[in-house]
Amino acid sequence: MKRATRVILLVLIVFGETAQSQETWYGPGYQTMVMNNPAFAGTEYDGIMRLSYMNFYPGNNYNFHSFYISYDSYMESLHGGAGMFLASDHTGNIMNDLRGGLTYSYFLQAGRDFYLNGGLSASFFRRGFSFRDAVFPDQIDAMGRITLPGNDLADSQSRTVFDVGTGMMFIFKNIAGGLAVTHLSRPDLNGKGSPEQRLERKLFIHISADFGLKGWSQLRLVPAGSFEMQGDYHSLTAGMVIESNYLSVSSMFIKGNTFGLDCQAGFSVKLERIALFYSYRFNIASGNRAMPFSLMHQTGLNFSFNNVEKRIKGRTINAPDV
């Protein structure tokens, strides 16, 4: 019965989120920026492949995890950057979101030290369901036994929809920031035309800077912050990254509108064209007693495949290793 109770709670949690047509929230970080803001594509110029694995609520047997891969690079023939991304989000053994797309960013020099990027993305979003291992409340009889399959959400079907997004970035000397709006078409995830089942538009704002330390030629401070809003949810993030040529450490604080405060700490090790990163997010304070302390593990690799000529009319950024 204990196992059945866990599954019921999981179903209620999953479909409570699904009813609001939200998506998996990765939180702050530049490792998934190609998906969040298409104008980011190519801003580091070198062709970079990013691989990430995220395990949500570890230690609670919820089986929430995500896989992410992206590649982006500057392309002189396009006078900008281009990229691709693919993400697979598994919510238990019940729901799976698969999304992928292409991004393009046009680079414009608007002043001596001022650059603007305008980006577009075209993607697909597929939400699939599997109720094979699910137990719904109407399947439990008065004796606590599991009976015939329930009728809840029996009409939920897998569906693939088209999605678009747009964004912009500015680079001024050692400061870079951007704004993006994704899910512009508000894709209908169940095909019934219900406003409640459409994927809400997501607003994402981010900013970072790069400061060298006097007397420490190989150390840099990279403060970073972001704001994200989708539907009824919004969050504010602020933190700092300390970087050297081979090692960086970071700490970010995340304040959401659910009366919670989270912290994400991590590090990155760089070896030639390969970088290994790891971060751990945990809950410091929460208005929800059911919120686990451990929120997420994230680990991954970045590969730099080619060096692009830097003497072109453009400006690179030092993306924070978070």
74-132 pLDDT tens trace: 988 889 999 999 999 988 777 889 999 999 999 998 888 899 999 999 999 998 877 66
Question: Which has the higher per-residue pLDDT, 11 or 190?
Answer: 190
- What CA dihedral angle connects 204, 42, 86 and 197, to 10 degrees? 30
- At 6, is the pLDDT very low, low, confident or very high (cuts 50, 70, 90)? very low
Tell me the domains of the chain and their CATH numbers.
2-147+159-189+198-306 (2.40.160.40)
Question: Which has the higher per-residue pLDDT, 152 or 292?
Answer: 292
Q: Which helix (H) or strand (E) holds 242?
A: strand 233-243
Amino acid at 190: N
Q: What is the pTM of this model?
A: 0.83
Q: Report the pLDDT value the prediction gives residue 207, as an integer from 0 to 100.
A: 95
Q: Report the pLDDT value the prediction gives residue 169, as an integer from 0 to 100.
A: 95
Please tell me whether residue 164 adopts helix, strand or coil conformation: strand
Q: Which 8-state DSSP code applies to residue 4?
A: H
Count other Cβ atoms within 10 Å, centred on residue 133: 10
**Contact assessment for residue 129 and residue 156, using Cβ atoms and an 8 Å cutoff:** yes
**Contact assessment for residue 207 and residue 176, using Cβ atoms and an 8 Å cutoff:** yes
Q: Report the pLDDT value the prediction gives residue 233, as an integer from 0 to 100.
A: 86
The full 3-state SS of 174-217, as one line of letters, equals: CEEEEEEEECCCCCECCCCCCHHHECCCEEEEEEEECEEECCEE
CA angle, 180 as apex, 179 and 186 as ends, to 5°?
A: 150
**Contact assessment for residue 185 and residue 163, using Cβ atoms and an 8 Å cutoff:** yes
CA 280 to chain centre: 15
Q: Cα–Cα distance between 260 and 253 in angstroms, integer? A: 11
The number of CA neighbours under 13 Å toward the Cβ of 41 is: 32
Residue 21, pLDDT > 80, answer no
Q: Which 8-state DSSP code applies to residue 170?
A: E
| Structure tokens given for 68 | 């992410």
pLDDT digits (tens, 9 = 90+) for 306-322: 766 554 556 677 777 77
Q: Cα–Cα distance between 82 and 278 in angstroms, integer? A: 26
Q: Cα–Cα distance between 19 and 26 in angstroms, integer? A: 19
Q: Report the pLDDT value the prediction gives residue 16, as an integer from 0 to 100.
A: 38
Q: Report the pLDDT value the prediction gives residue 7, as an integer from 0 to 100.
A: 46
Amino acid at 248: S
List all residues 6 or more positions away from 236 whose beta carbon is below 8 Å from its beta carbon: 225, 226, 227, 254, 255, 256
Average pLDDT, the chain: 82
Quickly list DSSP for 105-136.
Answer: EEEEE-SSSEEEEEEEEEEEEEEEE--TT---
pLDDT digits (tens, 9 = 90+) for 254-297: 998 877 899 999 999 998 889 999 999 999 988 777 778 888 99
